[in-house]
A and B are shown apart, each in its own frame.
Chain A
C-alpha cells in the first residue's frame, strides 16, 4: 500500500511538471526529498559534533538550487546537477552512518534495526539512479532513453519502497541491555553456591 501511494504520488507530481510545464515542481520535490533525508539522518547520527551539519548542508543546497534554477540553467525540463548533488550527499551520509555503526562497539546486529533498512533503501536508490539523473537533463527528450529512464527509475523506486516496507514491518528492536540489572548479582551468587557445592 505504501509503495502504491508513494509511486502514485511521485508520478502525479512528475505528470504535473511535465504536461503543465511547471518544472519548479522538480526542484520542490528534490528539496523536500533531501530535506526529509537530512532530517532523518540528523535523528540517527550519534556524533554530536556532526548533528548540526545536515541543516547547514540543507541551507547551502537550497540556496544553490534556487541560484541554479533561476540563473544558471538554460533548460529547465530536468535538474541533473541538483539531483546529482543530492545523490552524492545521500550516499555520503549513508556511508557515514555505516562507518558510525562499525566504529561503535554494539552487540546488536545491524540488520535487526529499522534504520539499517531505511538507509540501504536510500543508498540503493541514490546509487542506482545517479547516472540516470546525470544523463536525464540532456537526453530525456530521446524516446529510447525515456523508456530506460522509466524502467530503471521504477525498479530502484520499487526496491527502495520494498526496503522501507521491511523497515516498517520489522519487529521492535531488541533491547541491548538485560531487563534485570540484578542478573549479574544472581550469577555471582549462583557461582558461589555452585562452588560451595562442588567443594
Chain B
C-alpha cells in the first residue's frame, strides 16, 4: 500500500483508485466475514433446537415406555388379584370331596362355582375391553365415541354429546384406536380437572385430513400451557397424547375462544382409509 500511495501521488490519480480498490476489497472481506459468522450463528441455533427436540423426543419415549409398563402392571394386578382368587375359589367348590356330598350340596357348590366362573369371565372380558373396546373394533370410532359420550351423559352430572359430520368410510383400526385413546384421555382430563357442565365432540374432514374438536365450558388449558405441562410435568397423560399424535403424524391445538366462555381442543390427523376386500 505504501508503494501504491507513493507512486500514485506522483501521478495524481491514485486517490480514487486507492480508496476505491481498498473499499471494494474491504467490502468483499466484510461480506465473507458476515457470511461465516452468520452461518455459525444459524448452525448453533439449529443445533440448540435439535438438542431440545431430541430431549423432548426422549421424554416422550420414556413416557411411552413407562405408560406401557404401568399398563402391564395394571393388567397383571387385575389378573393376579381378581381373576386368580376367583378361579381359586371356584376350584375349592369343585374339589374331589364334592362327589361324597349330598346332591343338594353338590348342586349348590356347582351353582356357586358357576357364578364365580361367570364373574371371572366378566372380569377377563372387562380387562380385554379396556385394551380394545369391542364397539370400536366392530362398529368403528363413531360408535365407540358416541357410546362413550352416552355413558358419560347417562351419569347425569354433565351433558355430553358427539357428532360425526363426515365419517362415511372407516379409517385404519390402529389409527382409530389411537384417536380413541387420545379423545378418551382428553375427556378423562376434562372430567377430572375442568369442572365443566358440557362436553361436545365434533368430527369433520377436509381433503386428506380428519379433524376432531372437543368443546367444554370448564377450566381448560391453552397451547402454551399444554407445551409447558408436556415438557415439565411428570404426569403421563399429556405426554401420551403427544406421543400418540406424533405416531399419527398429526397436530393438536388447545385454544380458548375469544369470549372466554369455553375451551376447545382440535386434533388434525391425516386420513388412512382401510382397504375393503
Contacts and interface: CB of A to CB of B under 8 A. Distances in A.
Interface of A: 91, 95, 98, 101-102, 105-107, 109-111, 120, 123-124, 127-132, 135, 139, 142-145, 147-148, 151-152, 156, 188, 191-192, 195-196, 199
Contact of B21 (A95, A107, A128, A145): A128
Contacts of B4: 148, 151-152
Nearest to A123: B28
A109 B40 contact: yes
A142 B13 contact: yes
Interface in B3-47: 3-4, 7-8, 10-11, 13-14, 16-17, 20-21, 24-25, 27-29, 31-32, 35-36, 38-40, 42-43, 46-47
Nearest to A124: B28
B158 interface: no
B3 to A, nearest CB: 6
- The 4 A-B pairs of least Cβ separation, nearest first, read A144-B11, A131-B20, A127-B24, A127-B28
A98 B27 CA distance: 14
B61 interface: yes
Contact of B24 (A130, A142, A144, A188): A130
B14 A102 contact: no
A102 B38 contact: yes
Given A132-B21, A152-B4, A191-B58, 6 more contacts: A98-B31, A107-B46, A124-B25, A144-B13, A192-B65, A196-B65
Contacts of B65: 192, 195-196
Contacts of B8: 144, 148
A135 B13 contact: yes
A176 to B, nearest CB: 11
The majority secondary structure among interface residues of chain B is helix
Contact of B42 (A102, A129, A135): A102
A195 B36 CA distance: 40
Contacts of B101: none
Contacts of A127: 24-25, 27-28
B77 to A, nearest CB: 17
B216 to A, nearest CB: 35
B17 A148 contact: yes
Contact of A130 (B13, B20, B32): B20
Nearest to A134: B20
Contacts of B58: 191
Contacts of A129: 21
Contacts of A131: 16-17, 20-21, 24
Contacts of B14: 144, 148
A190 to B, nearest CB: 11
B62 interface: yes
Nearest to B39: A110
